[in-house]
Structure 1
Amino acid sequence: MNHLPQTETFYRKQPRIHYAWVVVAVTFVTLLVSAGIRSMPSIFMLSFEKEFGWSRGGISSVVSMGILLYGLVGPFSAAFLQRFGVRRVMIFAISTLVAGLALTPLMTAIWQFEVLWGLVTGIATGFMANVLGVTISNNWFVKSRGLVVGILTASAATGQLLFLPLLAQITVHAGWKYAVYAAVAVLVILLLMVAVFMRNHPSDIGTAAYGAMEVEAPVPFQGNLFLSPLLALRSALKSRAFWLLSGTFFFCGFSTNGLIGTHLIPACGDFGIAEVMAAGLLALMGLFDLVGTTLSGWLSDRFDSRWLLFWYYGLRGLSLLFLPYALSAGPMELLVFSVFYGLDWIATVPPTVKLSTQEFGKERSGMIFGWIVVAHQLGASTAAYGAGAIRDWLGTYSTAFIAAGFVCVLAAVISTRIGKSQTA
C-alpha cells in the first residue's frame, strides 16, 4: 500500500470535482451509446421484412444470438478489464463495433446479418455490458457504489431515450442504411472521447478512490483470462444465493430487453401504431427508467435489496399483464404502461449487484456477476426468439406478454428467499 503524506493525500482526495465522476460520465455515455446500438434491430425489423423478405422469427433469431453472446462475454470481459485495463478494452470494443456497423449496409443475406449483428455486435457490446459499470464502481468508489451502479445501469434506458426516436425518424424518412451511418458517426466520436478521458484506476492519476483516505494500487490480475471466469463459476455454483440471483435475473431478461426492447415496436405495428410513435414509447420508458434505476441505486445503499427486488419484479409483472389490453385500448393506456413499466425497466440491477457483492466479495464480484448476467441474457434470448416465433404462429404477441407477467410474479417470490452465505 502506498502511503502519501497526510496533507498531500487530503489535497488529492478532495479536488473540486473528483476524477471518478469524469470516469462515470465517460462510462455513462459509452453504455448509453452501446444500448442504443443494441436496440437498433427492433427499429429495422419491419424494414428488413419488406426489403429482404425475412420472417419475423428469422430476424428475431439473429437478435436472440446477439443478446446471448452479449451476456456470455460478460464474465470474460471482467477478466479482460482487470488484466488489460478499462481504457484498452473499451477502445477495442468500440472499434470492433464500428467495423461491424460499417459493413451492415452491404449485407444481402440473413447469414450476413447473423455474423454482423449476432456475432460481431453481440461480442463487442458484451465488453460494454453491466460488468463494466460494476468494475468502474469497484475501482473508483468506496462511498456511493450503489448510486453509481444505478446511474450506469440507467444509461441503457437513456440510450433508448436519445437514440430510438431519432433513428426511427431517419429510418422512416431516409432508410435504415442512413440510420446505420449515423450510428457509426456517433461511435467514432465516442472512441475519441474514451481515448482522451478514460483512466483505468485512481492510482493512474495519483488520487484515492472516491470516499477513500489513501491512494491504493490496483490488485494485479492473477490467473488465466479464460480459465479464471470458469473457476469463479465453479465456485459460485456451490452457492444457493448464486442460483437464486441467476434465476431471478433470467426472468428479468425475459421480461425486458428480450421481450419489450425487441418486440414492442413490431407489436405496436400490429395495431397500426407508427414506428416513430412506438419508438417514442420506448424512449419515454427510458426517461422514467433513468429516474427509477438511479433511485434504485440510492435505495440499495439503504434498504434490504431482497425486498426491493420483490417490489420491482411484482410491479413489472402487473404492468406486463396490463400491456395486451393497453395495445388494443388506445394511446392513453399505452402511455400509462410506458410510465409504470419504465420506472421499473432495469431497476433490478443495483440490488442484484449489491447482493452478489455481499455474497462473493469485491474481488470476485465482477466475474460472478458476469455469470449472473449470462442468466439474464439467456432469458432475454429466449424471449427475443420465442416471442417472434409465437407471433408467427398465433398472429399476436399477447401470449408472450402475459407469460412474462406471470414469470415476473414468480421472480418476486423467489427474491425473498435470497440470503447471504447460503450453500446448496
Structure 2
Amino acid sequence: MTAEAEALDPAGPPSPPRRFHPAWLVAAVAFVALLAAAGFRAAPGALMVPLNEEFGWSTSVMSLAVSVNLLLYGLTAPFAAALMDRFGIRQVVAAALTLVALGAGGSVLMTASWQLLVFWGLLIGLGTGSMALVFAATIAQRWFVRRRGLVMGVLTAGSATGQLIFLPPVAVVAESVGWREASLLVAVAALAAVPVVWIVLRDHPEDRGVLPFGADPATYAAPARATGNAARRALDGLVFASRHRSFWALAIAFAICGATTNGLIGIHFIPSAHDHGMPTTTAAGLLAVVGVFDIAGTVASGWLTDKYDPRKLLVLYYGFRGVGLLLLPWLLAETVHPSMVLFIVVYGLDWVATVPPTAALCREIFGDRGTIVFGWVFAAHQIGAALAALGAGVIRDAFGEYTYAWWGGAALCAIAAVLSIAVRRPHRTAAE
C-alpha cells in the first residue's frame, strides 16, 4: 500500500504525526492569491476622479463598467466552483490571476468609455469572479475539518482586505504619477502571485499524502472526485437550492451585504468624500483602515461562527452596518474627525464579517453541495453590489450628492437582519 493510501485508508496505519500540517501552507497561499486578485476591485474608486478629469466620463458611465465587473464577479463564482471541482484549483486560479493582470494592464490603452466595459468589466470581472469567495470556501471545505470557520474568516479577510490595502498606493500613484501607472501596479501584483499558486496549491489533501486538518483517521472518507460537465453541476446546484426558502433568505440578505459594501462604500465612498472637500488620498487611506479592521473582524467572525448560531451573528452585523450608513451623511467632512474614525472602525469590523456565518449556513443546510450553493448566494451578493454601484452613481448625478444612497443602504440592512433570523437550520426542520 502506498503512503498516500495508508494516510487515507482507515484500515491502514495512519501517517506519522506532522509538526506543521500542509493545510496551513495551502491556506496561506490562498490568502496571498485572494489578496492579489482583489487589488483592482476597489481601484476604480481611486481612479474615477482622474478618469473624469482626463476624459470627461460621467460617474454614471464609470459606475456602469464597475457594475458589469461586480455582476460578472458574482455570476462567475458558482461556475468557478464547479470548474475547480472538475479541472483543479491551480489551473483555475492561475488563469484567473492572468485575466486580472490583462484587464488592469490593458486598461492603460483606453481612449473611449466603452473600453471600460472590456477591461474593467469583462476581463477583471471574469478573473476576480473565478477567484471569488467560493475559492476560499473550497479550500476550507477540502483541507479542513476542524477550524473551518476560522479559515473561512481568514481567507475572506484576504479577499476583502486586498481591495482596500491597495487603495493608498493606487491613489498616491494615480495622483502623483498617473492613473495608468496605478493600473500597472495592480497588474504586476496579480502576475506575481501566479508562480506561487502553481508551485504550492494542490486540489486535495490526499495529493500530499495527508488527511484534512482535524480529520479522524478512523472515520474519515475522502469525498468522490467530481466528473462530468462543470456548468451542468453548477446549474443543478442552483435548481436544488432554489427549492429551499432558506436559500432565498440567504441570497437576498447577501445581496444586501454586497450592496452596502462593494457597491456603496467600496466604490462611492471616495467620490462622496471628495464631494465634501476631503482629498482623494485621505479618503483612500480611510478605506485602507477599513481593511485593517476587516482582518480582525472577519477572523473573529469565523471564530464566533464555530461557537454560536450564525443567524444571530448576521442580525448583529447587519444592524451595526445599517446604523453606520444612516449616520454617514453627517460624518463626511473636509477633514477626518473622531466620529468618522469610529465609523471606519465599526464598518471595518463589520465589512465582510457576514461571510463565515453565511458560508456555514450553506454548508449546514446543503451538505456536499454547500460550496456551489454558496457560489450562487455569492452571485446574489454581487448582483446587489452591481445594482448599488450603478444606482448610487445615478443618484449622485441626479441629486448632486450621495445622501439618499446611504439612507437606502441603511433601510436594506434592516431587511437583511430580518431575513437572516428567518433562515431555518436543518436540525430544526425535518423538511430541510
Q: Please tell me whether residue 195 in structure 1 is matched to residue 198 in structure 2.
A: yes
Q: Closer, same or farther in 2 for the Cα pair 1:77/1:357, shift >3 Å?
A: same
Range moving further from structure 2, 82-91 or 216-225: 216-225
- Corresponding residue for 2:33? 30
Q: 1:245: how far off?
A: 0.4
1:138/1:145 contact within 8 Å kept? yes
Show structure 1 runs of 5+ residues with no match.
none
- Corresponding residue for 2:149? 146
- Corresponding residue for 2:245? 240
Aligned pairs for 1:252-263 (under 5 A) are 252-263=257-268
How many residue pairs get matched?
421
Q: Please tell me whether residue 180 in structure 1 is matched to residue 198 in structure 2.
A: no
CA distance in structure 2 between the aligned counterparts of 1:305 and 1:377, rounded to whole angstroms: 21
Q: 1:35: how far off?
A: 1.6
- Tell me which amino acid in the other structure corresponds to 1:315: F
Q: Please tell me whether residue 337 in structure 1 is matched to residue 337 in structure 2.
A: no
Secondary structure of the residue aligned to 1:251 is helix
- Tell me which amino acid in the other structure corresponds to 1:321: L
2:167/2:284 contact within 8 Å kept? yes
- Tell me which amino acid in the other structure corresponds to 1:158: T
CA distance in structure 2 between the aligned counterparts of 1:216 and 1:86, rounded to whole angstroms: 21
- Corresponding residue for 1:288? 293
CA distance in structure 1 between the aligned counterparts of 2:114 and 2:393, rounded to whole angstroms: 18
1:359/1:420 contact within 8 Å kept? yes
Identity of aligned residues (%): 44
- Corresponding residue for 2:228? 223
2:36/2:162 contact within 8 Å kept? yes
Q: 1:95: how far off?
A: 1.6
- Tell me which amino acid in the other structure corresponds to 1:343: L
Q: 1:162: how far off?
A: 2.6
CA distance in structure 1 between the aligned counterparts of 2:170 and 2:335, rounded to whole angstroms: 24
Alignment equivalent of 1:374, drawn from 356, 371, 379: 379
Aligned pairs for 1:99-118 (under 5 A) are 99-118=102-121
Secondary structure of the residue aligned to 2:228 is coil
Aligned pairs for 1:307-326 (under 5 A) are 307-326=312-331
Secondary structure of the residue aligned to 1:36 is helix
- Tell me which amino acid in the other structure corresponds to 2:397: D
Alignment equivalent of 1:137, drawn from 134, 137, 140: 140
- Corresponding residue for 2:401? 396
- Corresponding residue for 1:413? 418
CA distance in structure 2 between the aligned counterparts of 1:218 and 1:360, rounded to whole angstroms: 15
CA distance in structure 2 between the aligned counterparts of 1:185 and 1:119, rounded to whole angstroms: 19
Q: Please tell me whether residue 297 in structure 1 is matched to residue 302 in structure 2.
A: yes
Aligned pairs for 1:148-167 (under 5 A) are 148-167=151-170
- Tell me which amino acid in the other structure corresponds to 2:51: F
2:365/2:425 contact within 8 Å kept? yes
Show structure 2 runs of 5+ residues with no match.
none
CA distance in structure 1 between the aligned counterparts of 2:266 and 2:105, rounded to whole angstroms: 23
1:87/1:198 contact within 8 Å kept? yes
Secondary structure of the residue aligned to 2:424 is coil
- Tell me which amino acid in the other structure corresponds to 1:170: V
CA distance in structure 2 between the aligned counterparts of 1:236 and 1:208, rounded to whole angstroms: 29
Alignment equivalent of 1:351, drawn from 346, 351, 357: 357
1:314/1:412 contact within 8 Å kept? yes
1:102/1:180 contact within 8 Å kept? yes
Range moving further from structure 2, 113-122 or 151-160: 151-160
CA distance in structure 1 between the aligned counterparts of 2:182 and 2:13, rounded to whole angstroms: 50
1:2/1:216 contact within 8 Å kept? no
CA distance in structure 2 between the aligned counterparts of 1:188 and 1:157, rounded to whole angstroms: 19
> What's the Cα RMSD here?
1.7
1:259/1:380 contact within 8 Å kept? yes
